[in-house]
Amino acid sequence: MTGRQQTVTTLFLALLTTAANAQIAPDIILLNGKIVTVDDYFSIQSAVAITGARISAVGSDDEIGSMAGTETDVLDLDGRTVIPGLIDNHNHIIRATEYWPNEARLDGVNSRIAALSILEEKANSLPEHEWLMTLGGWTENQFIGNRDDFTLAELDEISGGRPAFIQSTYDHAFVNTAWFDAMDIPVVASRQQRDEAADLAAHVVRDETGRATGRMNGGISMVALALERFPEVSAERQADAIKTAYSYLNSIGLTSIYDPAGVGISPESYDRINALAERGEATVRMFHTLGGGVPSTPGEAAVVVEQIRAARPFQGNEIVDLIAVGEIYYGPFHWDSLFEPRRPNAEDLAAGRSILAAAAEGGWQAQTHASQPETIDTLLDVMEDINKEFPLRQLRWSVTHADLVGPEQLERMRHLGMNLQLRSVSVLTQPRRYRLLEELGEAALHIPPLRLVQDSGVPWGLGTDGTKATQINPFVTLWWAVSGLALNGDRVLVQTLTREEALIAHTRSNAYLMFQEGNVGSIEPGLLADMLILDRDYLTVDESEIKDILPVATIFNGEVVWGEL
């Protein structure tokens, strides 16, 4: 090589080195923090670098700080704790977005006075004539001290003349005079009117004089009747409502959701979340199941089979993707309760099997609602038979809720390579919780058996089953799993977890369930930069404060989408 050639080569290599260095200079560096990586070693670091949407390095202040380029934003965390963005593995958020701008959420509120204040604040923020709503996610039993019903007079006072519908889980609701007027239901009813009351009016609770108290009983049937008469929402308003819902999720620390469909979802809702993602405006990752409803006849099962065969899973991306069948794909086969297992007949067994076989053949994940050991055993009998023809391990099928799962079912699930999704529903101490205590005594405090599942080796994660059946704040769920307490202070769980175990279950484990372990769930180089900068240290704060933790900032895809740094 001549001297000239050598000089040219040296210059070329220098240019390459300069370009490479410029290319790898992070966009953002966070220094002087407590980075809880939730990696395989649960390591703690002090700094993290973000390049584009992904994490480019994690390490010490000196290591990461030396990577800064001239355009890098270097931010001092001032000792704050950083954790991965939290993942809810069971949250029916898609069907909840329609009326989200009208909702006053009472997630984690344990004071009746505070709840009324939140309702009043929301009412004052709404345009004139807009309804005030709280569509589930709470119950009076979560309050410490006064757990009285919200009265007609109280809701009249705080609602500003607008209709108010304050739904307590799926059990009952509280309404005001303007709502009764909108429904053409008299506040004071004569004896004849009370005797002839039908449909929605039949669910009004009245005192001995016929005056409405403001309470509507009737459970999910009443709620369904009420929903039929809710105000219509334009397509444009619904699209904006998704953004509002996502912003709320970001504000409580959620960056990924596994949505298991359910009753009341229209195809347009999926179109809207996909359109939002395509415009680059999504701030929550949404992985969801196929369709909704509760198929209950062999003919309806056949329709589900055709839907499975006509679609393909895993055709989306790391923002939105259709990945599974479930959680309810054939009610008579698996949809049980905390008190009664499903005992399907031969016809229903065959219908359930046909759906699961189609899912296995098509490469779908299957998510099955089942709570009772007997139901789970029936389910596993069918799955073990299907496994002989279509090996299931790589599909990561799951049982969701599994509230009363036992060691025998866990061993069978381990053999099939299955997952579990456990929920924090008992944190609300709904009426069924007291029924469980009456029927089971001390055994009710082992529902769900978190420690048994944690020590079983079966992959599992934490979720909520919100937005209507229960609350959706992930820090409330983490607190419940660690403390074993309900929001009202009752002991509801004896099989608790360490803080580290609970955090893994709400991050990395849920990422695995959704086939997203290569994208989210921990703070590691190469993964997407979803993380939370917290207002206090999750690992060391007093246990009682875990439920009150909030993000100072929520980072999604490398950008701050809530709060500020």
Per-residue pLDDT of the chain (565 residues; tens, 9 = 90+): 555 444 444 443 344 344 444 458 999 999 999 999 999 999 999 999 999 999 999 999 999 999 999 999 999 999 999 999 999 999 999 999 999 999 999 999 999 999 999 999 999 999 999 999 999 999 999 999 999 999 999 999 999 999 999 999 999 999 999 999 999 999 999 999 999 999 999 999 999 999 999 999 999 999 999 999 999 989 899 999 999 999 999 999 999 999 999 887 888 899 999 999 999 999 999 999 997 789 999 999 999 999 999 999 999 999 999 999 999 999 999 999 999 999 999 999 999 999 999 999 999 999 999 999 999 999 999 999 999 999 999 999 999 999 999 999 999 999 999 999 999 999 999 888 889 999 999 999 999 999 999 999 999 999 999 999 999 999 999 999 999 999 999 999 999 999 999 999 999 999 999 999 999 999 999 999 999 999 999 999 999 999 999 999 999 999 999 999 8
Sheet of 559-563: strand order equals 44-45, 34-36, 81-84, 531-534, 551-556, 559-563
Report the CATH superfamily, name and number, of domain 235-559: Metal-dependent hydrolases (3.20.20.140)
CATH topology for the 3-79 domain: Urease, subunit C; domain 1 (2.30.40)
pLDDT single digits (tens) 379-397 = 999 999 999 999 999 999 9
Say how many C-beta atoms besides its own lie within 10 A of residue 78's C-beta. Answer: 10
Q: Rounded to whole angstroms, how far apart are CA atoms 50 and 77?
A: 14
β-pairing, 398-401 vs 365-370, is: parallel
Decide if 85 contacts 251 (C-beta within 8 A): no
Q: Rounded to whole angstroms, how far apart are CA atoms 405 and 389?
A: 26
Q: Rounded to whole angstroms, how far apart are CA atoms 405 and 427?
A: 19
Q: Rounded to whole angstroms, how far apart are CA atoms 415 and 380?
A: 11
CATH of span 99-227: 3.10.310.70
Angle 300-305-311 (CA atoms, 0-180°, nearest 5)?
125
Decide if 366 contacts 407 (C-beta within 8 A): no
pLDDT single digits (tens) 396-425 = 999 999 999 999 999 999 999 999 999 999
Q: Is 55 helix (H, G, I), strand (E, B) or coil?
A: strand
Residues of the chain with CATH 3.20.20.140: 235-559
Q: At 549, phi and psi to the nearest 5?
A: -65, 140
Decide if 443 contacts 452 (C-beta within 8 A): no
Q: Rounded to whole angstroms, how far apart are CA atoms 247 and 385?
A: 44
pTM of the model: 0.95
Q: Rounded to whole angstroms, how far apart are CA atoms 241 and 526?
A: 32
Residues of the chain with CATH 3.10.310.70: 99-227
Decide if 224 contacts 294 (C-beta within 8 A): no
Predicted local confidence at residue 18, as pLDDT: 43
Query: What Å distances lie between residue 97 and 226, 230, 288, 383, 457, CA to CA?
Result: 17, 14, 15, 34, 36
Nearest in space to 541 (alpha carbons), one of 463, 471, 482 = 482
Predicted local confidence at residue 23, as pLDDT: 55
Nearest in space to 175 (alpha carbons), one of 139, 131, 207, 143 = 131
Q: At 363, phi and psi to the nearest 5?
A: 75, 25
Residues of the chain with CATH 2.30.40.10: 3-79
Give the pair of three-digit tokens for residue 98.
Answer: 């329609």
Sign of CA dihedral 540, 50, 90, 403: negative
Q: Rounded to whole angstroms, how far apart are CA atoms 255 and 411?
A: 32
Predicted local confidence at residue 433, as pLDDT: 87
